[in-house]
Structure 1
Amino acid sequence: MESIYDFVIVGGGPSGCAVASGLAKSPKKPSVLLLEAGGDNDDHNLRVDGQRWTTSINKDLNWGYKTTPQEYCGNRELNLPSGRGLGGGSAINFANYTIGCRDDYDEWARIVGDDTFRWERMQTRFKDLESFNGEPPAGVGKKYAAPKPTDHGTSGPLKVGYTKECVEDLTEILDCFEQAGFPLNPDHNSGNPIGMSVSINSCQNGVRSTAADLITPAPDNLTVSTHSPVQRVIIEGKKAIGVESNGKKYFASKEVVLCAGALHSPRILMHSGIGPAKQLNEYQIPIIQANEAVGQNLRDHLCIPIVHSRKEPGVSSASFYGDAKAMDAALEQWKKDGTGPWAKYGAQAAIGFFKLDDIAKMKEFQDLPAEEQRFMLLDTVPHYEIFTHLPAHMFYPIPTMNYHCLATWYFNGQSRGEITLQSSDPDVPLKYNPRFLASPFDRRVAIESMRSLLRFTEHEAYAKNTVALISGPKSDSDEDILEYWAERVISSLHMTGTAKMGKPGDSNVVLDNNFRVIGIEGLRVADLCAVPVLPSGHVQATAYVTGVTCAEKLAKEYHLE
């Protein structure tokens, strides 16, 4: 009887912890089991704010997947980070907390025909989720950061906000953007991210907040089992009744909910007999429910840096990063009270979301389906992102000199990748082919987003303190910019859509608007797999709100309120 629960949740990342927390804390207090393939991730030292850039290289926290050779990326096999252990991606990402734009969620609602996903409803969930510290860093005035209390929550389990201190030139850089024609935005999480903002982080008081905070302490009716990778769902007829993990069986009297992420949930579905018939037949997996869309529609955001050396004296972070004793002493200070240089350097940046003024005139845009064009021209939908103050030396071979690293992302990528079986063994990873930059539109927007960033770096306000280019394209020609993308592009850990939801009768969907796997009773998928849009930002917030929304739907359906 110990192996029977009302709900079995698979995956301890943002979505899984949100589902587990929402169900377990509902008034009727059902029994909930949360299975996580990785460990507890309970070492507090993994939460150092300023060291968030290197957690993804910790092999205990990252599955370490790679793509297949990417044709438009120099045939390189790119890293495809995937969080492992409680917290999932929120434990290894760059901790930028962006909720995207209101039009993302209204589009989600339109695609699936369900007002549950409209912005007004989603914003309420975001507010309930967060404890927001809206006090900007010392010396940063309201011109740069002025969030409205009505747009944020103060009593949720997820600690987000600004740092107490920041690098000396943060407002100077923001002024440079404004002078170069990039408008300022006092809060990128208001529903309209357009403009340059002081970034909001999933960190507070020097400490990273992860999804594990949603289930800590765990209520008595929630059981959390780590080191429990799930190989398959147990299905009788067309009904899911439990899961298998390392030879053990765990049964659900009500529902199984997969929240293993866009790279993992399709694997579990396929090894359970739910997926493309040809693949299942090839690997002798009995077909329970054929669905060609499982593992398809893989989307991601791509990132690329540009680095310049800067005039002395510059910012004090250069000398800090170059002094091992100073960094060691700072870590001891952080361990005591969460303050000091590791709560300052690499912990606060500026972030901006912008439109390309001439996008409608681009042939590559005009060749897109009308619905894609309509969506991208909506008021709050950005076409690219700019991020400042990346500590590039932590993950690129750059000396710890006085430099400044900017990065750009392009949004609304039209390339659609896939993840496919390559073994009948459920413990063997899938094959990941995101087809980065395969779409002509993607290549055009990649070029133009970098070109916008180059125009900024050439503006007098910024260029007057530049010494030399350390890393960047040879010129602003299409060819040189694309060559640079091919050489330096990285995935952003923003994979979505590989078991997406839609309306009944849609040909390319796996789930209905209630997260239910079509054709299977008692089985849902509630993670970034399900999301039918690629959100305009860093997607951990969307992963959280996906889990919250699923928990609400389950609570209503099973009268748990």
Structure 2
Amino acid sequence: MEEPTVVDYIIVGGGLSGCALASLLRRSLPNSSILVLEAGQDPGPEHDVVTIFGGFALQGSALDWHFQTAPTPSTANRTHTLVHGKTLGGGTVLNYGGWSRGDDPDYDAWAARLGGDARWSYAGLLPYFKRTESFYDTNASAEKHGFDGPFKVIPTNASHASRKYPLRGPLEQAWKEVGLRRNLDPFANRLAGLSDFYEIWEDGKRRPSHLAYPLDGVSVRTSTPVSQILFEGDGTPKATGVKLSNGQAVNARKQVIISGGTLQTPRLLLRSGVGDPSVLSERNIPLVQALPSVGQQYYDHFALYQWFKIKDPSRGLALGHPNLSDPAFVAGMPTDVSANEGLPRDILAKALDEDGVVGAEREALLQPGRVFVETLIVYHALAPGFPSDGSVVCASTLLTLPSSRGRISLSQDIESPTPHIEPNYFTTALDRAALIHGVRRVLKVMLGTEALKDYIETELPPPGLAPLTIESSDKEIEERIRAVGVAHHHAMGSCPMGKVVDGDLRVKGVQNLRICDASVFPNPVGGHPMASLYGVVEQAADIIAASA
């Protein structure tokens, strides 16, 4: 079949956003032609994209861009490897399927960035969040939950009668010992507290975007990289289509929508002449539209992983032990509770003072109940170099509201599909204070509580490092974070609303060009960003359809 060269809508990128948006636009605009252009391949039957360990194996594979950052001074000059889906379905083929929203103030900060655009407040987004969900408990609050969406949202321990991890009880009691209260519904009562871990696995299978949102009636071209956006017009530039890496042009009658993801979208804009004029001039790229903020506010949920040795592995407390061989235990991420915590006010205020945060932004961060750290205990080592025989569990402690900002630009070869990434992780006083405090809390829970004293023996440090203990100093914890801390692969914010796009997700100063992916997030959101991004895409589809 001959490939179309003129369509109504071109969507560049077939990941989470691109697939969901294409499906939704097809539903709203059945007479419009929609083309998705994806640089990566269709995962097809040869790749296991639906099981938990299949997903683990795909990181670093042909379905992952696995970008390398520049050496990062704030993390011992290390180079970081960033997972980024290079396949139809994008990151939803590679991620672990966790489902959580941020708190109300997280989204209200978005609306404030847009001069009070209520569509992007929590109240404005809530109907779209609900639209994505099929919440497992039909008796839950209909005000906060949806029941007819494409994703079955369910806590780990309710997904299967046999999926009861034996360390959950002692772990819950340990968090209670250190003062963390139970949160029965993190979607309705703010994130703070100890809640169930929610996921969107169904019958032990993940739901990638291209399967959850049917692409019937949508033209999809995989293994088709886009090299540039094409423009016309002497005054206000107008996007007319795209140039493929093979030199072919595809034209759009109505709109071009970039859904390349946080790490790729700014690169494509810059290569096309949209960005900082001085940067474009240095690279001899003709200026189409001056937008200095393109690529300038990248952030991620920076995190520290730790490993803890079980005192008596024969008790069968972690995956790898024969007692946990039931397939139900790997029907999703092997974890079951999520701890979300704030910072003591004195620590928080001191960090904000050091960072010079004032005014409304400061007051918003000082609101009671704001969450700065999430901790998960995973009943598996997850990483090479540690035993997977049931003798080790893993702790993930991440920053939910990171304030450090990185930069994404063009590589030395401007035609390279690989962006130049300067992550700048862990550079603010707030990030340092929050993550050090979070790690200290984990050490207290795992090594300093009555509930776990008969279960956990010690922290197992990465090779060449000394173990952390409850007596470790802030300096020792900070040095560990700088030595081995990593991004949680939740890239956001590189083309933010208010600076690069407006409230309709239109690229400022350019006609017929929009962005729809996590790069538009103007501020971080607590929780893992997948649920938030699906809600953003649902609203974006309504906005675009209304303007058709």
Shared fold (TM-score, shorter chain, > 0.5): yes
* Structure 1: tracts of 5 or more residues without a match: 136-145, 331-338, 503-508
Aligned to 2:468: 473
Aligned to 2:464: none
Task: Answer whether contact 1:160 1:202 (CA < 8 A) is retained.
Answer: yes
Aligned to 1:115: 118
Superposed counterparts of 1:33-432, under 5 Å: 33-43=35-45, 46-51=48-53, 54-112=56-114, 113-134=116-137, 148-162=141-155, 163-164=159-160, 165-190=163-188, 192-216=190-214, 218-220=215-217, 222-237=218-233, 238-246=237-245, 247-312=247-312, 316=316, 318=318, 321=320, 340-343=328-331, 346-359=333-346, 362-366=349-353, 367-432=356-421
Task: Answer whether contact 2:410 2:419 (CA < 8 A) is retained.
Answer: yes
Aligned to 1:554: 544
- Alignment partner of 1:24: what SS? helix
Count of residue pairs the alignment pairs up: 526
Q: State the one-letter code of the partner of 1:261.
A: G
Superposed counterparts of 1:471-550, under 5 Å: 471=461, 472-473=467-468, 475-502=471-498, 509-550=499-540
CA deviations 1:317-362 (Å, max 9, x no partner) are 64x5267xx97xx7xxxxxxxx544326x43421121111234664
Deviation at 1:426, TM superposition (A): 2.6
CA deviations 1:441-498 (Å, max 9, x no partner) are 2212221121222222212222232222213536531110011101221111111111
Q: 1:49 to 1:177 in 2, by over 3 A?
A: farther
Q: How far, CA to CA, are the matches of 1:39 and 1:466 in structure 2?
A: 43
Aligned to 1:140: none
Q: How far, CA to CA, are the matches of 1:460 and 1:245 in structure 2?
A: 61
Aligned to 1:141: none
Q: 1:209 to 1:399 in 2, by over 3 A?
A: closer
Q: Which moved more, 1:33-42 or 1:396-405?
A: 396-405
CA deviations 1:204-223 (Å, max 9, x no partner) are 2101111112433x232x11
Q: State the one-letter code of the partner of 1:462.
A: L
Deviation at 1:513, TM superposition (A): 1.1
Q: How far, CA to CA, are the matches of 1:64 and 1:30 in structure 2?
A: 35
* Structure 2: tracts of 5 or more residues without a match: 462-466
Q: How far, CA to CA, are the matches of 1:149 and 1:462 in structure 2?
A: 37
- Alignment partner of 1:460: what SS? coil
Q: Which moved more, 1:21-30 or 1:227-236?
A: 21-30
Deviation at 1:63, TM superposition (A): 0.3
Task: Answer whether contact 2:297 2:493 (CA < 8 A) is retained.
Answer: yes
Aligned to 1:505: none
- Alignment partner of 2:17: what SS? helix
- Alignment partner of 2:254: what SS? strand
Q: 1:84 to 1:90 in 2, by over 3 A?
A: same
Q: 1:557 to 1:428 in 2, by over 3 A?
A: closer
Task: Tell me the percent identity.
Answer: 27
Deviation at 1:549, TM superposition (A): 1.6
Task: Answer whether contact 1:14 1:547 (CA < 8 A) is retained.
Answer: no
- Alignment partner of 1:529: what SS? helix
Task: Answer whether contact 1:102 1:380 (CA < 8 A) is retained.
Answer: no
Deviation at 1:18, TM superposition (A): 2.3
Q: State the one-letter code of the partner of 1:219.
A: D
Deviation at 1:55, TM superposition (A): 4.1
Q: State the one-letter code of the partner of 1:187.
A: D
Q: How far, CA to CA, are the matches of 2:413 and 2:288 in structure 1?
A: 15
Q: 1:289 to 1:116 in 2, by over 3 A?
A: same
Q: How far, CA to CA, are the matches of 2:27 and 2:315 in structure 1?
A: 46
Task: Answer whether contact 2:183 2:189 (CA < 8 A) is retained.
Answer: no
Q: How far, CA to CA, are the matches of 2:358 and 2:400 in structure 1?
A: 16
Q: How far, CA to CA, are the matches of 1:543 and 1:44 in structure 2?
A: 28
Task: Answer whether contact 2:334 2:378 (CA < 8 A) is retained.
Answer: no
Q: State the one-letter code of the partner of 1:354.
A: E
Task: Answer whether contact 1:147 1:190 (CA < 8 A) is retained.
Answer: no
Runs of 4 or more above 6 Å deviation:
none
Q: How far, CA to CA, are the matches of 1:9 and 1:159 in structure 2?
A: 27
Deviation at 1:48, TM superposition (A): 4.4
- Alignment partner of 2:152: what SS? strand
Q: State the one-letter code of the partner of 2:436.
A: I
Q: How far, CA to CA, are the matches of 1:212 and 1:55 in structure 2?
A: 20
Q: How far, CA to CA, are the matches of 2:83 and 2:51 in structure 1?
A: 19
Q: How far, CA to CA, are the matches of 1:537 and 1:364 in structure 2?
A: 22
Deviation at 1:380, TM superposition (A): 4.7
Q: How far, CA to CA, are the matches of 1:166 and 1:245 in structure 2?
A: 50
- Alignment partner of 1:321: what SS? coil
Deviation at 1:514, TM superposition (A): 0.8
Deviation at 1:305, TM superposition (A): 2.0
Task: Answer whether contact 1:23 1:29 (CA < 8 A) is retained.
Answer: no
Q: CA RMSD in A?
A: 2.4
Deviation at 1:75, TM superposition (A): 0.9
Q: How far, CA to CA, are the matches of 2:404 and 2:126 in structure 1?
A: 29
Q: Which moved more, 1:469-478 or 1:266-275?
A: 469-478
Q: State the one-letter code of the partner of 1:180.
A: V
- Alignment partner of 1:392: what SS? coil
- Alignment partner of 1:204: what SS? coil
